[in-house]
Copies of this chain bind each other. A is one copy, B any other.
Amino acid sequence: MTNTEPVEAGTSSVIGVDVGGSKILARVVDPATGAARGRVKKNTPTDGPGAVVDAIVDSVRALDGWADASAIGVGVPGPVTPDGTAGPCPNIVGWDEPVQVATELAERFGKPVVVSNDVNCGAVAEHRIGSGRGHADMLAIFVGTGVGGGLILDNELIVGQRGMVGEIGHLTVDPGGRPCGCGGFGHLETYAGRAGIDNEMRRRTDANRHLLSQVGDSQLKSRHIAAGLEAGDELSAQLIEEAAHALALVIGNAATLLDLPLVVLGGGIVDRLGEPFLEQIRTSDDFGGVGVDFTELVLARRLDDAGAVGAAFLVADPI
């Protein structure tokens, strides 16, 4: 893959850091190609954003060649405003409030720092070196436990004043429908996200049914859904049909609103179900609006370390 090639000597480099709920990953990235080298991985501290900032600094400084890098890009799992205020990050224990981390990191490193949302970073990686390469306008949607995304218009990442543009999982597809973790109802991710499908499966089923018998008490995985479909399990097929319907509605509407030529779909469920799931979305009656014949739906390229590489792209060409 292009983004794991070694950076050639003499190429200017940047650092990309992906801060996840459990791990922090730092890499040295060639911003021209996305090729990454070096790899430092640390556990994400659970005692607040101050400790996370310390761990980011330690991770970067442990990278061979960090001193030669011109700048540092950081992706975090929460909203980030354009001035680099990040949080709350619900998946990082103790990071419950927005904190100005970009300024602090820039002071600590003595180099330019851009902080952005991790899913937005993944969208940028798809745009620069993945399935969106060469497209000025695109929406990326990642369907995993929840549903997040990233919007690129005229080759720029759109983040919004609160940094909330990626929150596509909370678009309403069925007013008054399935309850969402955010307190709303009928949001996309309650139909298409793994957690939403898991909840609905348990609501509709009993231990004799195929899907729940595979999953048991553990969390539903994408492979359970794929296996259920393969085995002809009716409930699996119904739940995925409803997920495709919800995605078709949101994608059709987003494509119509923004005249989008390209939507890139990735994340655990999409990676597992692949092209047949995309075809289910495309052929849904709910894939409507005026964008249908225009908007191409493609699978994400599943780039290695997309979060870290995307963060590096963002700081190399700040948006």
User: A residues engaging B (CB < 8 A)?
Assistant: 136-137, 151, 153, 158-165, 167-168, 170-172, 175-176, 182, 184-187, 245, 249-250, 252-254, 256-261, 285-286, 288-291, 294
Complex contacts, A176 vs chain B, CB 8 Å: 285-286
**Integer count of this chain's copies in the complex:** 2
User: Given that A153-B158, A170-B289, A290-B167 are known contacts, is A175 also in contact with B258, CB under 8 Å in the complex?
Assistant: no
A120 and B165 alpha carbons, distance in the complex (Å): 22
Complex contacts, A253 vs chain B, CB 8 Å: 171-172, 250, 253
A249 and B177 alpha carbons, distance in the complex (Å): 13
Distance between A2 CB and nearest chain B CB, rounded to angstroms: 26
The one of B153, B162, B256 that contacts A259, using a Cβ cutoff of 8 Å: B162
A53 and B246 alpha carbons, distance in the complex (Å): 44
Complex contacts, A162 vs chain B, CB 8 Å: 259, 294
Give the top 5 A-B pairs by smallest Cβ distance, nearest first. A160-B259, A164-B259, A175-B286, A172-B288, A171-B253
Distance between A188 CB and nearest chain B CB, rounded to angstroms: 9
Complex contacts, A159 vs chain B, CB 8 Å: 259
Asked if B164 contacts A288 (CB within 8 A), the reply is no
Complex contacts, A288 vs chain B, CB 8 Å: 170, 172, 175, 184-187
Most chain B beta-carbon neighbours within 10 Å: one of A172, A249, A257: A257
A152 and B245 alpha carbons, distance in the complex (Å): 29
Asked if B137 contacts A172 (CB within 8 A), the reply is no
Distance between A85 CB and nearest chain B CB, rounded to angstroms: 14
Distance between A201 CB and nearest chain B CB, rounded to angstroms: 23
Most chain B beta-carbon neighbours within 10 Å: one of A163, A184, A261: A184
A285 and B160 alpha carbons, distance in the complex (Å): 24
Asked if A161 contacts B185 (CB within 8 A), the reply is no
A253 and B184 alpha carbons, distance in the complex (Å): 12
Asked if B289 contacts A187 (CB within 8 A), the reply is yes
The one of B164, B186, B245, B286 that contacts A290, using a Cβ cutoff of 8 Å: B164
A136 and B151 alpha carbons, distance in the complex (Å): 17
Distance between A52 CB and nearest chain B CB, rounded to angstroms: 23
Asked if B160 contacts A137 (CB within 8 A), the reply is yes
A-B contact pairs, 30 of them (CB 8 A): A136-B161, A151-B257, A151-B258, A153-B158, A158-B258, A161-B259, A162-B294, A164-B256, A164-B290, A165-B257, A167-B289, A168-B256, A168-B257, A170-B290, A171-B253, A171-B256, A171-B257, A172-B286, A172-B289, A175-B245, A175-B249, A175-B286, A175-B288, A182-B290, A184-B289, A184-B290, A185-B288, A250-B253, A253-B253, A257-B257
